């Protein structure tokens, strides 16, 4: 356990003073190797080998598919279609934002990409209708966390590549949970907007025509069917998603400009490359922790002090809540996964249920201070302070964690579709 404490101290200090996550992880890995008299070449080996993973390629393609959706007019049509369904409802634009985030999430799988893509359209519209900047930013941030929960999900790809669990089962396990979270956030937005008069007796905003919207609505279903039927792997499906988004944007909507493709590819490679670097450094950390038997020690400690699987999930919920507040999503997944694998097996917790719950709870950390990435995106978008945006986020945070807590004690919310409907694992 001394090695674990050493890691937490080193990473915590470096991260707190503003050292980039990947460098903080790398420094922690190097120090742990040296203190355990291990060859530093191990760091280089684990860093490189961890990225030699075909499954992780899906990150790049799903992010690129989202970029092409934006450039090809698909994202705007999704927003326009949803706007027609909630016309005249108090908080209509906030509801449009949240539902559009859910639909965009069903193609992209990234929280940040979801918030930025939908926010670029919806933030100016909400301000135009009199919504407060902080509430508009909070709504966009809250919608962003649905990105990694509704399939496809980049964090679940990372988790599945680490544990070997079925990515298709993880994807489908997040579907109902993501829908419930979206519904909870919609209720919050409606109640707040109704109380404040947002979206009442205001001019309607035209988001453009919805011609060809069926191609956008078919897209998420196509992705899910391809993955869950076994017709394609998640990586093959992500590549198909890029081609589909381009064909529709180029030849059906005729809004995609081929000269924009290089910049789209650059942005996608930067986003996925940053994640891959974190994967490499975190894998080296995880290897050292495993070498000195930290997962086994954690398992023994939990088994000796926790009396039941339900109590284990409650304790896990609290741990993930705290970690989500102070650590970014991807490194948290990569560092904690090997530590929790042993206890999950010891308490006979369904591994797919745990994987979805694990990734979703850490994703919720993106809107909890002080480190929540989506909070800062909202601050940047609205030019409001952290405290202003967090204050408006509190009702959303409460409903999100309420849904997660219910899922912790009612695993069928997560396991029903992959196990009983799609029969992707188990009996």
How confident is the model at residue 427, as a pLDDT?
A: 59
User: What integer is the mean pLDDT of 200-208?
Assistant: 74
Domain count, the chain: 1
Round the CA-based radius of gyration of the chain to a whole number and report it. 21
**Residue 154, domain member (yes or no):** yes
Q: Minimal CA–CA distance to 167: which of 26, 315, 57?
A: 57
* pLDDT > 70? residue 368: yes
How confident is the model at residue 415, as a pLDDT?
A: 96
**Residue 426, domain member (yes or no):** no
- What percent of the chain shows pLDDT beyond 70? 99
* pLDDT > 70? residue 202: no
Concatenate the DSSP letters of all residues of 88-103 into one string.
T-TTHHHHHHHHHHHH
pLDDT tens string 261-294? 999 999 999 888 888 888 888 888 888 888 888 8
pLDDT tens string 23-36? 888 999 999 999 99
**Residue 303, domain member (yes or no):** yes
- 74-111 burial, b at 16+ Cβ within 10 Å, e below that, comes to bbbbbbbbbbeebeebbbbbbbbbbbbbbbbbbbbbbb
pTM greater than 0.75 (yes/no) = yes
**Residue 202, domain member (yes or no):** yes
pLDDT tens string 243-258? 999 999 999 999 999 9
d(CA 264, CA 245): 13
Q: Minimal CA–CA distance to 256: which of 67, 71, 121, 64?
A: 71
Query: Range of 214's domain?
Result: 2-421
Could you tell me the pLDDT band of residue 409, with boundaries at 50, 70 and 90?
confident
- Please enumerate in sequence order all residues whose Cβ is within 8 A of that of 170, keeping only pairs 6 or more positions apart, or say none: 153, 156, 159, 160, 352, 355, 356, 359, 418
Highest mean pLDDT: which range of 39-48, 103-112, 183-192: 183-192
d(CA 257, CA 68): 10
């Amino acid at each position: 356990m001394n090695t674990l404490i050493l890691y937490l101290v080193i990473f915590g200090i470096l991260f707190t003073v503003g050292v980039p996550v990947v460098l903080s992880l790398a420094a922690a890995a190097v120090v742990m190797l040296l203190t355990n008299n291990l060859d530093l070449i191990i760091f280089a080996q684990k860093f490189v080998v961890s990225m030699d993973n075909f499954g992780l390629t899906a990150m790049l393609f799903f992010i690129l598919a989202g970029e092409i959706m934006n450039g090809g007019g698909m994202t705007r049509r999704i927003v326009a279609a949803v706007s027609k369904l909630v016309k005249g409802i108090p908080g209509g634009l906030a509801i449009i934002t949240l539902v559009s985030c859910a639909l965009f999430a069903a193609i992209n799988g990234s929280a940040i990409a979801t918030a930025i893509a939908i926010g670029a359209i919806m933030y100016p519209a909400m301000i135009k209708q009199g919504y407060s900047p902080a509430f508009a930013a909070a709504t966009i941030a809250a919608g962003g966390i649905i990105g990694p929960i509704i399939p496809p999900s980049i964090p679940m790809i990372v988790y599945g590549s680490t544990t070997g669990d079925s990515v298709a089962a993880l994807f489908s396990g997040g579907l109902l949970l993501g829908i419930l979270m979206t519904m909870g956030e919609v209720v919050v937005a409606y109640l707040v907007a109704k109380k404040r008069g947002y979206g009442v007796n205001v001019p309607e905003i035209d988001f453009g025509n919805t011609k060809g919207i069926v191609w956008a609505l078919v897209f998420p279903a196509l992705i899910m069917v391809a993955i869950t039927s076994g017709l394609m792997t998640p990586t093959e499906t992500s590549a198909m998603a890029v081609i589909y988004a381009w064909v529709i944007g180029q030849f059906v909507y005729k809004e995609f400009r081929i000269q924009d493709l290089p910049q789209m590819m650059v942005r996608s490679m930067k986003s996925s490359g940053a994640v891959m670097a974190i994967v490499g450094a975190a894998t080296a950390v995880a290897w050292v922790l495993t070498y000195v038997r930290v997962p086994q020690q954690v398992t023994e400690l939990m088994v000796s002090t926790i009396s039941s699987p339900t109590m284990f999930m409650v304790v896990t919920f609290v741990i993930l809540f705290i970690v989500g507040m102070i650590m970014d999503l991807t490194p948290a997944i990569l560092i904690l996964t090997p530590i929790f694998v042993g206890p999950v097996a010891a308490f006979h917790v369904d591994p797919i249920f745990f994987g979805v719950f694990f990734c979703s709870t850490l994703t919720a950390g993106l809107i909890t201070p002080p480190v929540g990435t989506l909070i800062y995106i909202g601050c940047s978008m609205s030019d409001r302070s952290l405290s202003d945006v967090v204050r408006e986020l509190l009702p959303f945070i409460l409903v999100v964690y309420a849904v997660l807590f219910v899922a912790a004690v009612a695993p069928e919310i997560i396991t029903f579709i992959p196990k009983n409907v799609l029969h992707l694992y188990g009996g």
